[in-house]
């Protein structure tokens, strides 16, 4: 993959100036607007044509025509009425669903900040062209696929594209592997993803349908529609009925002629019996006129029931298809999981506790009655409070839900703030008690950040707040300033020479270091993102630099963070298996995380095999078809891989549903 300077040279642009307006207009003419092109919606006439050309409906129309020729007006009207009701119901349901889907996709055209002609300006995202220089910051929606040329602690949330549950750290380093999965392309940002932290400058390399999101849209729209099991069975029934009608006509003709009846009626005798008319009448009687209408009404009622459960059915026949599903291929992030990073485990001094086990308010964590300091609860309190203070997330009232609190910022940091909030301490109050006096920001090389806090003289302290301050004063021997460092455990251990153990600060021996490393590895093996916490006390405010703050620190403990499964998912998986439906997880997240979640909800067992996108890329269609029924977890996959998996299942005779 090209480095940043080569990419800019290929795009013929200077990052400090950007494209000129003239060049941007020329490229817009050449490449087209930066928007996804969708197939036009079906017109009501097209939907009506589909309804009227089904074999069984054609048979009914033919029956109505024969009835009209025979002069049977009542039969003709009844059959045509059934055909009309069937067509109208189908057209109305599908057209309304098409319009609803279109309404869901309509969004206001977002603005993007670009550098053009040496000036920074805001333009509509659809006006972006390859070669544009865009400026990104926390909260920005990435408008097109771009190569990063500057990145300062940049993180992007790519769950919508790759399924990665936590923000991905981005930088400008050149990637050596030409076939690196999307989730591992750390120097690229993609249309539709969002920036959660830091800032950056990027060179637009692909726009519109040439982006990764555009490729997904093209894949979806290029997939040929297959007939549902019900449609296939109805077509088979229609073919059988047509053949049966001809057989009946032939038999009736033969029997009538043998009996000596005339082939055609005598015009002079209006009521005279004729073999041909009798044969046709018997054939028409074979046709089940009411079946299409009954089927359409039943499916329409089913669609309405699904709508009440917040499921929009686009085509009526899909209602029955859901009942025929044998395999459900589900994404992980946001579907099986909450799409919300959550602290689930705290490890201190080799003792690992789930967040649910650490129940109660801070009073139960820190019992300063002579023995509370030595309790693991005190270390857990330090980890929780320190992680919330060494944190850039903001806690504020939720404008859409009065009385509730929302956290704004990086999802992982938000999880740390939410964790301490469970025990009665809110971040705004912590920031008031221990205001930040200095900081050493996070960077991807150190994989940690440090904040320095001072004790503030705040009145009206609650019992929990007083106990917290007492704990900190006791722990830090009344130091004027406290530095908390949060980050990757292996990175923290390089700047720590002591550890907090049973309420005391002890040397970080090789044995203790090995125990911490093992605990970190065990949590990581279970798919958790692990962040450690260390502290250091200062008598005077230090200069905010790595050299003056991050040395001789005291390691306290670590927190395990994961996007947890939804509460209802485990039961839903069990119901599916009982019904003979095999659930399969397909995600762009890391294999360890995917497997851990799959095991916890019952999709995978201890012997489950995980296939990655790299494995799938090396497989032929036949090889994938041979193993697709034995694999329940796919990780680090791209959208194309998802389509290949579903196609392989269909070739094996499965009815597959994809979330």
Q: For residue 441, what are its two tokens?
A: 């920001």
Q: What is the DSSP string of 138-187?
A: TTPBP-SEEEEEEEEEEEEE-HHHH--SSPEEE--PPP--TT--GGG-TT
Which residues, in sequence order, are CB contacts of 334 under 8 Å at separation 6+? 159
Here the contacts of 258-265 (C-beta below 8 Å, separation 24 or greater) are none
- Cβ neighbours of 587 (radius 10 Å): 29
User: Which helix (H) or strand (E) element contains residue 406?
Assistant: strand 405-408
Q: CA angle at residue 450 from 448 to 455, to 5 degrees?
A: 155
Handedness of CA 209, 211, 214, 216 (dihedral sign): positive
- Cβ neighbours of 232 (radius 10 Å): 12
Q: Which one of 331, 392, 589, 615 is the catalytic residue?
A: 331
Q: Is 266 a catalytic residue?
A: no
Rounded to whole angstroms, the Cα distance separating 499 from 533 reads 10
Q: Are 410 and 387 in contact (CB under 8 A)?
A: no
Q: Are 333 and 546 in contact (CB under 8 A)?
A: no
Q: For residue 394, what are its two tokens?
A: 């903001």
- Cβ neighbours of 122 (radius 10 Å): 10
Of 469, 342, 358, the C-alpha closest to 417 is 342
Rounded to whole angstroms, the Cα distance separating 358 from 354 reads 7
As beta bridge partners, residue 137 has 199
Cα 418 off chain centre by:
22
| First-to-final CA distance of the chain | 32
Residues designated as active site? 331
């Amino acid at each position: 993959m090209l480095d940043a300077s080569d990419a800019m040279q290929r795009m013929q642009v200077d990052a400090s100036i950007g494209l000129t307006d003239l060049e941007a207009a020329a490229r817009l003419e050449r490449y087209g607007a930066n928007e996804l092109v969708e197939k036009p919606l079906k017109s009501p006439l097209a939907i009506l044509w589909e309804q009227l050309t089904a074999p069984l409906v054609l048979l009914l129309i033919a029956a109505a025509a024969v009835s009209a020729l025979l002069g049977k007006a009542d039969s003709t009207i009844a059959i045509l009425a059934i055909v009309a009701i069937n067509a109208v119901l189908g057209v109305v349901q599908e057209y309304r669903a098409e319009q609803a889907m279109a309404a869901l996709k309509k969004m206001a055209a977002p603005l993007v900040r670009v550098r053009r002609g040496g000036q920074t300006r805001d333009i509509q995202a659809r006006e972006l062209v390859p070669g544009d220089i865009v400026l990104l910051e926390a909260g920005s929606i990435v408008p097109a696929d771009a190569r990063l040329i500057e990145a300062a602690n940049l993180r992007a949330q790519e769950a919508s594209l790759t399924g990665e549950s936590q923000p991905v750290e981005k930088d400008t380093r050149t990637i050596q592997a030409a076939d690196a999965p999307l989730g591992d392309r750390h120097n690229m940002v993609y249309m539709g993803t969002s920036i959660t932290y830091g800032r950056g400058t990027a060179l637009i390399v692909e726009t519109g349908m040439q982006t990764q999101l555009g490729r997904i849209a093209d894949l979806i729209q290029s997939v040929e529609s297959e007939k549902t099991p019900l449609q296939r069975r109805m077509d088979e029934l229609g073919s059988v009925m047509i053949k049966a009608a001809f057989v009946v006509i032939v038999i009736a003709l033969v029997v009538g002629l043998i009996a000596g009846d005339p082939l055609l009626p005598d015009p002079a005798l209006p009521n005279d019996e004729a073999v041909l008319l009798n044969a046709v009448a018997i054939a028409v009687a074979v046709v089940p006129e009411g079946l299409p209408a009954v089927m359409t009404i039943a499916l329409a009622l089913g669609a309405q029931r699904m709508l009440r459960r917040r499921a929009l059915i686009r085509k009526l026949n899909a209602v029955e298809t859901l009942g025929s599903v044998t395999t459900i291929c589900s994404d992980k992030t946001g579907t099986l999981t909450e799409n919300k990073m959550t602290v689930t485990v705290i490890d201190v001094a080799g003792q690992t506790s789930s967040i649910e086990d650490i129940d109660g308010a801070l009073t139960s964590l820190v019992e300063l009655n002579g023995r509370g300091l030595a309790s693991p609860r005190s270390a857990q309190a330090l980890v929780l409070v320190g992680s919330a203070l060494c944190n850039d997330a903001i806690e504020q009232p939720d404008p859409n839900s009065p009385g509730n609190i929302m956290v704004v910022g990086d999802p992982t940091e938000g999880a740390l703030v939410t964790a301490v909030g469970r025990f009665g301490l809110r971040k705004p109050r912590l920031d008031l008690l221990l205001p930040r006096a200095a900081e050493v920001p996070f960077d991807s090389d150190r994989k940690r950040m440090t904040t320095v806090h001072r004790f503030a003289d705040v009145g009206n302290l609650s019992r929990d707040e007083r106990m917290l301050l007492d704990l900190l004063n006791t722990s830090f021997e009344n130091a004027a300033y406290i530095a908390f460092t949060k980050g990757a455990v292996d990175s923290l251990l390089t700047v720590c020479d002591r550890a907090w153990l049973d309420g005391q600060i002890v040397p970080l021996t090789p044995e203790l270091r090995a125990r911490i490393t093992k605990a970190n590895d065990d949590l990581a093996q279970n798919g958790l993102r692990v962040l450690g916490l260390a502290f250091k006390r200062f008598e005077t405010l230090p200069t905010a630099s790595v050299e003056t703050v991050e040395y001789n620190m005291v390691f306290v403990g670590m927190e395990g963070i994961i996007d947890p499964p939804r509460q209802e998912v485990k039961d839903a998986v069990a119901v599916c298996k009982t019904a003979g439906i095999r659930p399969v997880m397909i995600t762009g997240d890391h294999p360890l995380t995917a497997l851990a979640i799959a095991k916890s909800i019952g999709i995978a067992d201890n012997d489950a095999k995980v296939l990655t996108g790299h494995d799938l890329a090396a497989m032929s269609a036949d090889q994938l078809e041979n193993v697709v029924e034995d694999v329940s977890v796919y990780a680090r996959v791209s959208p194309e891989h998802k389509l290949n998996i579903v196609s392989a299942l269909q070739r094996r005779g499965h009815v597959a549903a994809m979330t």
